[in-house]
């Protein structure tokens, strides 16, 4: 889309309907409006605030009108996709915002050039080599030098000397060693160990719970067990758990995990569960992962069971068809959030900070303050940039206010 023309048209559209919208935009659309890049972009990423429902509805109606006029604009062209980036930006970024677009009904701001540069560097840490991102850095850097104390034109310094590893050039005369981000667990968890993992995140199985299992890993393995091995007991417990605890699931990580799976029934399950969380915009991408015909949960008898008992209301209209008498749905089968927070520290941190990589990293540091940034990032599946900032912030907190290590608590 032509970003500036689209916003002029959308501004008139909102103005005629008496609506106003103020937000912070980032990504390709912001770079377009700044004149840093000229290539078209398919959407506009809004960092904050959460887009109000009436603006979301208006943007979708506007997209339909644009397509009727022969232009291309997808329904979710205005979205909060990168909202989690706000946790990773340098302190005080809100005070450095610059005006980006000002119309009758729309006022967009964006990060200043130094914060935009940091955002692009974070993206490099997450994605590895990305020539599209790297090509923007020199132009962003040109007007950012006053914002970085200690920058010297006269004495450029390498950030590391060449070694016998792959090095990534990011700036002229500068090198960094790329961090390889881990997104998926190294091995599968099945059988009794999986049952113990599930008990560890609050599913009431009669086993000893595993201590602090990763939440999204456990959800993935449980869904594979349920869908691929037809374990309806595991599946019923998983679905009930997700209905209670979805607000505190790291949707970004879960989406990436499921996207890496080539099992259509597992994808269908998670698309169905995500569609059931339609009010939570974090699960939009997960809801769209499965493309294909509707799946019956059981291999035989679904038609008869649905005709006799009706369809499970949790899956109506979703990629998965389930008769209402197949999966048990009892709230007492899972711990409620307040109880789970007492057992699972990372979950407790998510209640306090939000379901993010940062929350998991904070919990990991409270268990082991000696973790390096790289080890912390790998343990929590986050980016190196986030881990670096969390370690910095953690060190600022007085020792007296930290949670005691796990071993000390066990003997308390």
d(CA 199, CA 216): 14
Q: Is 195 inside a domain boundary?
A: yes
User: Of the residues 301, 333, 365, which one is the last residue of a structural domain?
Assistant: 333
Q: Is the pLDDT of residue 216 over 60?
A: yes
Do 325 and 288 lie in one domain? The reply is yes
101's enclosing H/E stretch is strand 98-102
Greater pLDDT, 40 or 211: 211
Domain span at 51: 3-114
Count of domains forming the chain: 3
Q: Is 200 inside a domain boundary?
A: yes
Do 208 and 248 lie in one domain? The reply is yes
Q: Is 394 inside a domain boundary?
A: yes
The confidence score (pLDDT) of residue 173 equals 37
Mean pLDDT of 369-387: 88
Do 199 and 102 lie in one domain? The reply is no
Do 107 and 206 lie in one domain? The reply is no
User: Of the residues 114, 133, 160, which one is the last residue of a structural domain?
Assistant: 114
Do 196 and 248 lie in one domain? The reply is yes
Q: Is 39 exposed, middle or buried (0-12, 13-18, 19+ CB in 10 A)?
A: exposed
Residue in this structure with the two tokens 């307040």, named with its chain if needed: 338
The confidence score (pLDDT) of residue 372 equals 87
26, 47 Cβ separation under 8 angstroms: yes
Do 289 and 207 lie in one domain? The reply is yes
Q: For residue range 336-372, list pLDDT tens digits in order.
A: 999 999 999 999 999 999 999 999 999 999 999 998 8
- The answer to which of 65-74, 112-121, 218-227, 296-305 has the lowest mean pLDDT is 112-121
With the C-alpha atoms ordered 373, 374, 380, 386, is the resulting torsion angle positive or negative? positive
Q: For residue range 23-34, list pLDDT tens digits in order.
A: 888 888 888 888
What pTM did the predictor assign? 0.58
Q: Is 343 inside a domain boundary?
A: no
């Amino acid at each position: 889309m032509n970003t500036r023309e689209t916003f002029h048209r959308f501004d008139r559209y909102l103005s005629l309907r008496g609506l106003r919208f103020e937000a912070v935009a980032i990504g390709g659309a912001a770079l377009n409006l700044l004149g840093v890049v000229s290539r078209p972009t398919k959407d506009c990423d809004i960092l904050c605030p959460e887009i109000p429902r009436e603006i979301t509805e208006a943007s979708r109606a506007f997209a339909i009108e644009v397509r009727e006029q022969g232009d291309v604009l997808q329904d979710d062209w205005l979205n909060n996709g990168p909202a989690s980036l706000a946790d990773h930006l340098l302190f005080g970024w809100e005070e450095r915002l610059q005006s980006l677009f000002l119309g009758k009904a729309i006022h967009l701001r964006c990060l200043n050039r130094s914060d935009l540069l940091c955002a692009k560097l974070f993206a490099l840490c997450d994605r590895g080599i990305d020539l599209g991102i790297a090509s923007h850095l020199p132009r962003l850097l040109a007007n950012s030098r006053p914002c970085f104390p200690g920058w010297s034109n006269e004495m450029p310094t390498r950030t590391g000397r060449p070694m016998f590893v792959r090095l990534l050039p990011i700036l002229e005369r500068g090198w960094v060693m790329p961090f390889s981000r881990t997104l998926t667990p190294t091995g599968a968890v099945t059988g009794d160990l999986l049952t113990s993992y599930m008990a560890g995140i609050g599913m009431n199985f009669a086993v000893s719970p595993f201590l602090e299992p990763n939440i999204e890993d456990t959800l993935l393995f449980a869904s594979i067990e349920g869908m691929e091995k037809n374990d309806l007991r595991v599946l019923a417990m998983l679905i009930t758990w997700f209905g209670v605890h979805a607000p505190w699931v790291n949707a970004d990580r879960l989406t990436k995990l499921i996207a890496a799976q080539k099992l259509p029934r597992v994808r269908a399950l998670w698309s169905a569960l995500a569609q059931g969380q339609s009010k939570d915009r974090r699960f939009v991408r997960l809801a769209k992962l499965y493309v294909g015909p509707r799946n019956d949960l059981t291999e035989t008898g679904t038609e008869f069971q649905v005709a006799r008992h009706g369809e499970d209301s949790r899956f109506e209209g979703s990629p998965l068809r389930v008769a209402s008498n197949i999966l048990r749905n009892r709230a007492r089968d899972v711990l409620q959030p307040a109880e789970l927070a007492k057992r699972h520290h990372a979950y407790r941190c998510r209640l306090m900070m939000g379901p993010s990589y940062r929350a998991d990293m904070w919990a990991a540091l409270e268990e082991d303050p000696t973790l390096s940034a790289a080890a912390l990032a790998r343990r929590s599946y986050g980016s190196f940039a986030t881990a670096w900032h969390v370690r910095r912030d953690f060190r600022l907190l007085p020792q007296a206010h930290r949670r005691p290590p796990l071993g000390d608590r066990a003997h308390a």
